[in-house]
Structure 1
Amino acid sequence: MRRLRTIFPAMYTRSADIPARSRDATLYLLRCIFLMGVRKPPARFFLAYLAWSFALNLCSTFYQPIGFLTGYISHLSEFSPGEFLTSLQVAFNAWSCSTKVLIVWVLVKRFDEANTILDEMDKRLTKASERLQVHRAVSNSNRIFFFFMTVYMVYATNTFLSAIAIGRPPYQNYYPYLDWRSSYWHLGLQAGLEYFAMAGACFQDVCVDCYPVNFILVLRAHMSIFADRLRHLGTDPMENQEQRYEKLVQCIQDHKVILRFVDCLRPVISGTIFVQFLVVGLVLGFTLINIVLFANLGSAIAALSFMAAVLLETTPFCILCNYLTEDCHNLANALFQSHWIDGEMRYKKTLMYFLQNLQQPITFMAMNVFPISVGTNISVTKFSFSVFTLVKQMNIAEKLSKSEEDE
């Protein structure tokens, strides 16, 4: 445990005496985004970074969706129903993952801008209790990141091992000059290439799915601290009217910094969550069909881990969005509960204007189409049961099983 604390110190809550570093909530996330090959190459390892970026993104971002589609066209008749659904459920998710990676690639600088804004928020933390609250958010954020990584990688490894056990590649993608049926050498090479591509895709998926959770967790900690700051406005008997007004103005500036942080991340979140909302119901539907009707024990375990990974792509952040709306209401209540009754007219007018702004909740939209919330997540997830019901009613599963027996 002590060695783990030395290697990953940001996973553990620091002492309240240590200055807060909110940017550490995304410490391991941004390191992994760097390993995705979407950052500016460092001068010292310029060629090595370019080579790694080319290899990973060629296999995982660009070729893997093409490989799925080409494999269906070339060898569709050779798939068993379970193998086809296993491949299809991953194919849709791979296409969405590639799209999300490209969105993050284009807007990756916004993560650095968001961390710079977090540094501004940290300068306002003067109490030990405030620093401790941010330290807890930082450690929880990094633990969640590693939890995401574990779930995603368990799926990739389970699928690989269960496929190797039955002597087939995991997804039967198309690779030129490779025929896995011809020899064990070709089988091992194709399985290895598919595992590398899928592990790389899972690695990328962790980064593009977990970043909203990492950033919003630490934002909620700052909003909780900000609510306490608002609640104590005007309670110091030693302050004169001018000092009280200056503190109110400073709180207005703090709120502007919070809104600037949200606006910085909004385009990235809007694009990646929209893409995931489009495919999550369909992917979960294919996974349910595979588990219930076709999967053996090994593939069922792999499918269940895949389902957990798909649910992690939207559910935690949607829950946080609901909490964020509640946090905004708490800010307005905290300001109203402050000691403003005996304030001067200028103070009251400014406070009322500020109160109106605080009553507007912080919300995220998926490309201005879907509000990102638990309700929307439930709605798109329910579509998976519609897919499952449609397949059952049309007897597609029985037809696929019968055609496989005829062959």
Structure 2
Amino acid sequence: MVLRRIFPNMFQGPESAVVESRKASLYLLRCIFLMGIRTPPKRFFFVYILWSCALNLSSTFYQPIGFVLGYISHLSEFTPSQLLTSLQVAFNAWACSTKVIIVWILIKRLDRANEMLDALDKVVRLPSERERVQRTVALSNKIFFCYMSLYLTYASSTAFFAALMGVPSFQNYYPVLDWRASRFQFWLQSGLEYFAMLGACFQDVCVDCYPVNYILPLRAHMAIFAERLRQLGSDLEEKRQQRIDKLVECIRHHKLLLSYCDNLRPLVGGTIFVQLMVVGLVMGFTLINIAIFANFGSRIAAISFMCCIVLETTPFCTLCNYLADDCQMLADALFESNWIEQDERYKKIVLQFLQTLQKPIIFLAGNFFTISVATNLAATKFSFSVFTLVKQMNIAEKLAKTTSSQYQEPVEI
């Protein structure tokens, strides 16, 4: 199978393969390197610097500005569908640029997280445990490529249908370029916008998918850890001190899991907070465009864009709910272990450890609110509020009438 040879880590490896949880983010980190935000390699130093400048100047820094300048220069020339298509992407572009800068600043935390995963891999010994980690690695990489496929499909479909209608995708402002003047300038601006949007989608995949790629291995190791807790005290041939040593080793293991989460919190909290702030507004514009103004081609692009917006927060918020259940699973596993027949010292350690295990692992968005499915739904509901407000105030009808009158040809007398 060609795909398996090109991307082997998308598929579960053999039982004899070395367990490497860090491979769950292998393709993610390669794409982050291509974003131009890592230390330049010595061999291709200048090439990497040039590529980083081209990509980040066009996608990270200028594209959000280009949207605003385009509105200032040619707002009256936008049709309602074009305006809403541009607005929905403009807000998301600002959010994407902010998230890229956050990841750029805190990128070393991803490297430290992989080092912690290497430490967690050292206790993976049983065939069933190895299979669980390998299955998680394959699933994580498949999810990354699903993100990439959907995001790039949106960028390409938007550019394609815009070209069919004879306008650039978003009508950004570029100095000394007027796409209405000639076909050459039209295709030049369309190409520049497509390159910038491809770069932005490429960046968006990385900054949206990394929480999923790093939480999935954590959940796999928590499931393995739960089985270890459940087996504590079950070996009747162990001596008293050996059982206490195993229990203390489990406490250290749990501290490593908590340190892994603490390492990721500033990074995850910053990027998810930014996205939750704009998701409702962006989806509101998209819903209005789909329901009222968009034609067939624009609807396809808008629907694919909405799928991308849902992927930016929903999977990770769902995983955060699962993490809370996993913490309860750890507490239940320790309680189900053979602690009743142990001595008083062992029981006291178990009691203290049990209280620690019962505390759920929580990620906060910007240190303000808990990341969960409920939070995601609350942010998403705002899109329906935007849609309802536009419908009740008849803004859509007024905008359509204003636009049609602007494009109406003058009557000759």
Question: Normalized against structure 2, the TM-score is what?
Answer: 0.98
Q: Deviations over 1:346-402 (max 9, x none)?
A: 111111110000000001000111210000000000000000000011111001110
**Which residue in the other structure is 2:206 paired with?**
207
Q: What letter is aligned with 2:64?
A: P
- Indicate yes or no: 2:228 matched with 1:229: yes
1:405 CA displacement? 1.5
Instruction: Tell me, in whole angstroms, the C-alpha distance in 2 between the residues paired with 1:340 and 1:80.
Output: 71
- Indicate yes or no: 2:8 matched with 1:16: no
Instruction: Tell me, in whole angstroms, the C-alpha distance in 1 between the residues paired with 2:369 and 2:133.
Output: 31
Instruction: Tell me, in whole angstroms, the C-alpha distance in 2 between the residues paired with 1:63 and 1:33.
Output: 19
**Which residue in the other structure is 1:399 paired with?**
398
Matched ranges for 1:264-343 at <5 A: 264-343=263-342
Q: Is the 8 A contact 1:125 1:131 kept in 2?
A: yes
**Which residue in the other structure is 1:87 paired with?**
86
Matched ranges for 1:6-405 at <5 A: 6-405=5-404
Q: What letter is aligned with 1:111?
A: L
Q: What letter is aligned with 1:214?
A: N
> Tell me, which stretches of 5 or more residues in structure 1 are unaligned?
none
Instruction: Tell me, in whole angstroms, the C-alpha distance in 1 between the residues paired with 2:366 and 2:297.
Output: 38
1:3 CA displacement? 1.8
Instruction: Tell me, in whole angstroms, the C-alpha distance in 2 between the residues paired with 1:17 and 1:241.
Output: 34
Q: What letter is aligned with 2:382?
A: F
Q: Deviations over 1:69-90 (max 9, x none)?
A: 0000000000000000000000
1:14 CA displacement? 1.0
RMSD of Structure 2 on Structure 1 (CA): 0.5
Q: Is the 8 A contact 1:366 1:372 kept in 2?
A: yes
Instruction: Tell me, in whole angstroms, the C-alpha distance in 2 between the residues paired with 1:340 and 1:257.
Output: 23
Instruction: Tell me, in whole angstroms, the C-alpha distance in 2 between the residues paired with 1:305 and 1:255.
Output: 40
1:237 CA displacement? 1.3
In the TM superposition, structure 1's runs of 4+ consecutive aligned residues that sit over 4 Å from their partners are none
State the SS of the aligned residue for 2:178.
coil
1:16 CA displacement? 2.1
Instruction: Tell me, in whole angstroms, the C-alpha distance in 1 between the residues paired with 2:144 and 2:30.
Output: 12
State the SS of the aligned residue for 1:235.
coil
Instruction: Tell me, in whole angstroms, the C-alpha distance in 2 between the residues paired with 1:154 and 1:3.
Output: 22
Q: What letter is aligned with 1:333?
A: D
1:246 CA displacement? 0.5
Q: Deviations over 1:204-245 (max 9, x none)?
A: 000000000000011100000000000000001110111100
Instruction: State the identity as a percent.
Output: 63
State the SS of the aligned residue for 1:13.
coil
Instruction: Tell me, in whole angstroms, the C-alpha distance in 1 between the residues paired with 2:105 and 2:28.
Output: 17
1:17 CA displacement? 2.1
1:335 CA displacement? 0.2
> Tell me, which stretches of 5 or more residues in structure 2 are unaligned?
407-413
Q: What letter is aligned with 2:46?
A: L
1:111 CA displacement? 0.4
Q: Deviations over 1:77-134 (max 9, x none)?
A: 0000000000000000000000000000000010000000000000001111101000
1:19 CA displacement? 2.0
Instruction: Tell me, in whole angstroms, the C-alpha distance in 1 between the residues paired with 2:310 and 2:229.
Output: 36
Q: What letter is aligned with 1:181?
A: R
Q: Is the 8 A contact 1:213 1:316 kept in 2?
A: yes
Instruction: Tell me, in whole angstroms, the C-alpha distance in 2 between the residues paired with 1:309 and 1:152.
Output: 6
1:342 CA displacement? 1.2
Instruction: Tell me, in whole angstroms, the C-alpha distance in 2 between the residues paired with 1:368 and 1:117.
Output: 24
**Which residue in the other structure is 2:411 paired with?**
none
Instruction: Tell me, in whole angstroms, the C-alpha distance in 2 between the residues paired with 1:362 and 1:234.
Output: 26
Instruction: Tell me, in whole angstroms, the C-alpha distance in 1 between the residues paired with 2:13 and 2:129.
Output: 12
Question: Normalized against structure 1, the TM-score is what?
Answer: 0.99
Instruction: Tell me, in whole angstroms, the C-alpha distance in 2 between the residues paired with 1:179 and 1:205.
Output: 28
Instruction: Tell me, in whole angstroms, the C-alpha distance in 2 between the residues paired with 1:135 and 1:101.
Output: 29
Instruction: Tell me, in whole angstroms, the C-alpha distance in 1 between the residues paired with 2:225 and 2:64.
Output: 45
State the SS of the aligned residue for 2:288.
helix
Instruction: Tell me, in whole angstroms, the C-alpha distance in 2 between the residues paired with 1:48 and 1:380.
Output: 41
Q: Is the 8 A contact 1:16 1:129 kept in 2?
A: no
